[in-house]
Amino acid sequence: MKNICVIGSGYVGLVTGTCFADLGNNVVTVDIDEKKISKLKQGIMPIYEPGLEELVQRNVRAGRLNFTTSYEEGLKDAEFVFICVGTPSAVDGEADLKYVRSAAQSIAQHMKHPLIVINKSTVPVGTGDWTAEIIQKSQPNPIKFSVVSCPEFLREGSAMTDFMSPDRTVFGSTDREAAEAVAGLYAPLKAPIVITDIRTAEMIKYASNAFLATRISFINEISIICERLGADVMEVARGMGIDKRIGPHFLQAGVGYGGSCFPKDVKALANMALTHGMHPQLLNAVMEINDFQRKHVILKIRDLLGGSLEGKTVGLLGLAFKPNTDDVRDAPALTIARSIMNQGGKVKAYDPVAMENVAEELKGIILCQNPYEVAEDVDVLVLVTEWNEFKQLDMKRVLGSMKQPFLVDARNMYDGEKMRGIGFTYRSIGRGYDGAGVNAIPANGLPAIPAEKGAE
């Protein structure tokens, strides 16, 4: 059993602290947000993550997990301190490290004994050295400490499983003994361990997320080509994924990636490259394709409506950037909704857990109580987030309440043949010609290229 302090009670901090407590450690989570800490003490979660609420409450009852706004209280008995604060993107993509700086300074000012400080936040390469310098300069009296980079690889919606059954754990430090001590915290998970220098550990996180984002943008670009050539991207991805060198993961064509990690991390890595005199061509292409994929959905909606959204009503099924989370940061649905409203259309929407966050984020959107209410009198219905509850909707009932029979399946969740059989005019992503406005292969076997549509 170890004594652990976690700085930050956001997504990474709350999951990390709770899981370490569940492994039998004593954990104190520190956050300067008094409202958030007050709610956590009452068992009210600041985020939605399946299984998290029950695990928090269980460990609080067991006395292994506590919450406070006091650094002094959090660091009192701590052997390890995890920095799990936000690193939002600045306008140019550079990661904003003001919260990391503040945490490092507060640790330095309140520590009374030697500590191992672990950067869990996703931070630019070199931040570990920078953090050590800040702590050293901010200490009232010199006290020994070490800094270790331990990047997180948690997926929203499956974070508890990802923490408890990781593919690997990565530790980087100039102090090998400190890195091995942090690795010891994760030893019960029996996952492969990578111990390296601190900058390499920081880079592993960025490279991993950039590669996964690249796979998503790759299959989305292939989906556009499939639409023009009459191929089915789902079968293409299946045929590719069987190859062991490629694999099936992150090859689902759709509306692009979103959330708090991929957009921010790809942009930050590109900014690091630019700052050091390089031209990140592939990373730029990944971001451009992802941005276009959202516009591509808008083009499908406009095409169905004769080229204009003025006075039309569009229904969106799903608002979170992915299922099993309430996170709407850089969510494709919000980009699509804003574009529709900017072009004179109305937007109705429903999401099982994210509507409170959307209400704060996007004014003017009409939030509904269920999917069937969304469908009432809409001109187009768009499936944006593939929540399980949307898979078994009574689509005949949905169609019967719509003003026009237009369905855009931006996640390729539905059976197109079945939807057309019900009576929908169905559009999907990269499945034959249906998404490009071309419905048959010409006699010469070559597809006609649709006329260019105006930019958003």
DSSP conformation letters of 99-165:
HHHHHHHHHHHH--S-EEEEE-S---TTHHHHHHHHHHHH-SS---EEEEE----PPTTSHHHHHHS
Averaged pLDDT, 85-112: 90
Q: Measure the CA–CA gap between 9 and 320, rounded to whole angstroms.
A: 20
Number of neighbouring beta carbons within 10 Å of residue 295: 16
pLDDT over 70 percentage in the chain? 95
Which residue type, as a one-letter code, is found at position 374? V
pLDDT at 88: 85
pLDDT at 446: 44
Q: Measure the CA–CA gap between 29 and 20, rounded to whole angstroms.
A: 11
Q: Do 123 and 225 belong together in one domain?
A: no
Does residue 202 form part of some domain?
Answer: no
pLDDT at 414: 96
Does residue 318 form part of some domain?
Answer: yes
Q: Do 54 and 182 belong together in one domain?
A: yes
Catalytic residue among 19, 150, 261, 368: 261
Q: Do 261 and 191 belong together in one domain?
A: no
Q: Do 217 and 143 belong together in one domain?
A: no
pLDDT at 433: 64
pLDDT at 454: 38
Q: What pLDDT digit, counting tens, does each position of 34-52 carry? A: 999 999 998 899 989 999 9
Q: Do 265 and 345 belong together in one domain?
A: yes
CA 41 to chain centre: 27
Does residue 433 form part of some domain?
Answer: no
Does residue 113 form part of some domain?
Answer: yes
Q: Do 234 and 175 belong together in one domain?
A: no
Q: What pLDDT digit, counting tens, does each position of 365-409 carry? A: 999 999 999 999 999 999 999 999 999 999 999 999 999 999 999
Q: Measure the CA–CA gap between 85 and 427, rounded to whole angstroms.
A: 41
Above 90 in pLDDT, residue 69?
Answer: yes
Q: Do 215 and 108 belong together in one domain?
A: no
pLDDT band at 441 (very low <50, low <70, confident <90, very high): very low
Q: Are the C-beta atoms of residues 6 and 27 closer than 8 Å to each other?
A: yes
Q: Measure the CA–CA gap between 55 and 161, rounded to whole angstroms.
A: 12
Q: What pLDDT digit, counting tens, does each position of 196-249 carry? A: 999 999 999 999 999 999 999 999 999 999 999 999 999 999 999 999 999 999
* pTM reported for the whole predicted model: 0.89
Does residue 189 form part of some domain?
Answer: yes
Q: What pLDDT digit, counting tens, does each position of 269-316 carry? A: 999 999 999 999 999 999 999 999 999 999 999 999 999 999 999 999
Which residue type, as a one-letter code, is found at position 129? D
Does residue 437 form part of some domain?
Answer: no
Q: Do 215 and 117 belong together in one domain?
A: no
Q: 98 is in which domain, residue-wise? A: 3-196
Tell me if residue 317 falls in helix, strand or coil: strand
Quote the tokens at residue 399. Answer: 């169609």
Which residue type, as a one-letter code, is found at position 264? K
Q: How many domains does the chain have?
A: 2
Q: Do 399 and 350 belong together in one domain?
A: yes
Q: Do 11 and 73 belong together in one domain?
A: yes
Angle at which helices 198-229 and 281-304 cross, to 10°: 40
Of 140, 168, 196, which residue sits at a domain end?
196
pLDDT over 90 percentage in the chain? 88
Paired sense of beta strands 65-68 and 26-30, if any: parallel
Above 60 in pLDDT, residue 84?
Answer: yes
Does residue 397 form part of some domain?
Answer: yes
Length of the chain: 456
**Is 368 a known active-site residue?**
no
Q: Do 109 and 174 belong together in one domain?
A: yes
Q: Measure the CA–CA gap between 15 and 13, rounded to whole angstroms.
A: 6
pLDDT at 258: 95
- CATH number where 239 lies: 3.40.50.720
Distances from the Cα of 268 to the Cα of 122, 173, 273, angstroms: 10, 22, 9
Above 80 in pLDDT, residue 431?
Answer: yes
Does residue 329 form part of some domain?
Answer: yes
Residue 308: exposure state from Cβ atoms within 10 A (0-12, 13-18, ≥19) = exposed
Of 162, 196, 230, which residue sits at a domain end?
196
Specify which residues 195 forms β-bridges with. Answer: 171
Q: Do 297 and 374 belong together in one domain?
A: yes
Of 167, 196, 225, which residue sits at a domain end?
196
pLDDT at 434: 59
Q: What pLDDT digit, counting tens, does each position of 307-361 carry? A: 999 999 999 999 999 999 999 999 999 999 999 999 999 999 999 999 999 998 8
